[in-house]
Amino acid sequence: MEKRQELYAGKAKSVYTTEAPDRLVLEFRDDTSAFDGKRKEALARKGMVNNVFNAFIMERLEDAGIPTHFDKRLSATESLVKKMQMIPVECVVRNIATGGLVKRLGVEEGIPLTPPTFELFLKDDERGDPIINESLADTFGWATREQLGKMQELTFKVNHVLKQLFAQGDMLLVDYKLEFGLYDGQVILGDEFSPDGCRLWDANTREKLDKDRFRQGLGGVIEAYEEVARRLGVVLPEGDTDA
C-alpha cells in the first residue's frame, strides 16, 4: 500500500492517504507529549514500540470479536487502517483510583474500583479535554445516544479482554482511554492502544510501566514500554526500525 499525502499530524502520530479511498497509513513517531502538548520530547524507538505493541493488542481485540480500524502492520512504525469518521469523544475506564479521579474527587489513591468507572471526555486539547456526559454529547451533536451506548459496550468488552491479558504478565490495567469512529455506519474502535494511552502497574510492586514515567519525570520510559511488551510476548524489531 503506497503512502501518499499527509492528512493530519497529531502529537505522536501522523496520518497519510493511500491509493485506496477507504484506507490510511498511520505512522507512529518518536514524539512524546504530556499535559495536552505542553511538554514535548522525542524518545528513540518509541514510535516502533507503540506501533508493534498496538498491532498486537488490536489483533487480540479483533480475535475477541471487537471491531477495530486496524488492518495490518506495514513496517516497524507504520500500520494500515480503515478510514473512519472519528467521534470527538474519548471513553475512559478506571479499574483503580489514580490520576484525575483522585484529584477531582479526593478518593484514596490505589483503591480498586468495583465496578470500574466509565467517563466521557470531549477531545479538545485547547480546553483540556473536558469531562462531559451523554446529554451534552447528544445536544451538541458530538455523538448520538445510540453511538455512545455502543461505545460504552465495546469499551467494557475491551476491559474484560485486556485486564486478563495484562494479568498474565503480572500487570494491572489501571485505566485507559479509547477513541471510536464510524465505518460503514458502524461504531468501531480507532486510534491506538499503547502505554501512551493507559496506565499499567506491576501487579506486585505497583511500579509504573506507562506514560506516567514521562509525566512524572521518572525516566526509563521506553524501557518500561519494552518491558510491558516483553511480558506479553510481543516481539519487537531489533536495530533498523524500517523492518
Query: What confidence tens digit (pLDDT) does each residue in 44-87 have?
Result: 999 999 999 999 999 999 999 999 999 999 999 999 999 999 99
Whether 84 and 70 have beta carbons less than 8 Å apart is answered as: no
Residue 108, C-alpha cell as written in the block: 484514596
Which one, of 180, 182, 122, 117, lies nearest residue 151 by Cα?
180
Q: What count of Cα atoms within 13 Å lies in the side-chain half-sphere of residue 200?
A: 29
The answer to whether the predicted template modeling score (pTM) of the entire model surpasses 0.75 is yes
Sorted by sequence, the CB contacts under 8 Å of residue 216 that are 6+ apart come out as 208
Domain ranges of the chain: 6-83+221-232, 85-215
Kindly report, residue by residue over 123-179, the tens digit of the pLDDT.
998 899 999 999 999 999 999 999 999 999 999 999 999 999 999 999 999 999 999
Q: Kindly give the pairing relationship between strand 131-132 and strand 112-122.
A: antiparallel
CATH number assigned to the domain covering 85-215 = 3.30.470.20
Identify the architecture of domain 6-83+221-232 in CATH: 2-Layer Sandwich (3.30)
